[in-house]
Copies of this chain bind each other. A is one copy, B any other.
C-alpha cells in the first residue's frame, strides 16, 4: 500500500527508495547490516549515483539507515511500525493501520476570528471563521476530540459537507484545497467538560494534545486544529539526527 504509493509517485529516486525500504524492512541486509555502496546500487538500478543518494536521503530521514563518510551505510531500524513519509490525515492513518475510522460532527459554528486565530490563519481583523467540533473514533471506540478552525474559503466547503462524512480532507481535495505542510505541537492538557462527555473520561483527566496548523502548497493556512487524544490510544513517533531534523523542543510561553 505505502509501497504502491511510493512507486506510483513516478520519480525514479522514490521508486529506488521504495525498493530499498522493502529490502531493508524484510531484512535483506541483516539486523544491523551494511548496505551496498552507492555506486553498486546505482549500477544495480541503472541510475546515477546522485539519484541513489536522493533515495537514501529519504530513508535516512525516516531513520532507517545511518551514514557517515568513509564507510558503508548501516541499517538502523528494520522493524519500524509504519514509515509514512507523508502528511497523513486521521482517516488515512487509521485506514493504513487496518482500523475503521469514524467521525461525528458535534457542532459547527461561524463566528469572527479571535486574535490567536487571525494570527494562525493569517486573516484580516473581522474575518469570520468556521469552527467544527468532531468526535473521532477508531473501529467504533472514541479516541479523539478534534476542534478545527477553518478560514472562510475552506469553511464554506466544510459547512456544506454531510454531518456523517468520515474524511474532510478528501472532499476538500476534490475542490482544490490541498494539504501540503503542517506544524505540530504536542503537549498535555486536562479534559474539559465537553472532552469528558465525548470521550467518556473524567473532567481534568489528562489528554494528549496535538495542535496543528496546515497550509496548502502556496503557503496559505487552510486549517488550525486542536486534537485531544485519549491516553493509551496513540503515541507520536519522531526520528531525528545530527544531519537534519524536523523536531524542535521549546518552552511553553504561548497558548
Which A residues fall within an 8 A CB radius of B? Answer: 31-32, 58, 61-63, 66, 68, 74-77, 80-88, 93, 97, 99, 122, 138, 179-190, 205-208, 215, 217-220, 231-242, 244-252
Residues on B with beta carbons closer than 8 Å to the beta carbon of A80: 248
Residues on B with beta carbons closer than 8 Å to the beta carbon of A84: 245, 248
| Residue contact B237 to A251, C-beta cutoff 8 Å | no
* Residue with the greatest number of chain B CB neighbours at <10 A, chosen from A74, A93, A208, A239: A239
Given the interface pairs A182-B241, A187-B231, A242-B180, the reply to whether A66 lies near B248 with Cβ below 8 Å is no
Residues on B with beta carbons closer than 8 Å to the beta carbon of A240: 87, 181-182, 184, 246
| Residue contact A244 to B74, C-beta cutoff 8 Å | no
Given the interface pairs A32-B219, A66-B215, A185-B237, the reply to whether A81 lies near B252 with Cβ below 8 Å is no
- Can you tell how many copies of this chain the complex includes? 2
| Residue contact A241 to B76, C-beta cutoff 8 Å | no
10 contacts between A and B (CB under 8 A): A63-B181, A66-B180, A181-B240, A182-B239, A187-B234, A206-B206, A206-B231, A234-B252, A236-B249, A237-B249
Closest chain B residue, CB of each to CB of A211: B235
Closest chain B residue, CB of each to CB of A212: B238
Residues on B with beta carbons closer than 8 Å to the beta carbon of A188: 188, 206-208, 231
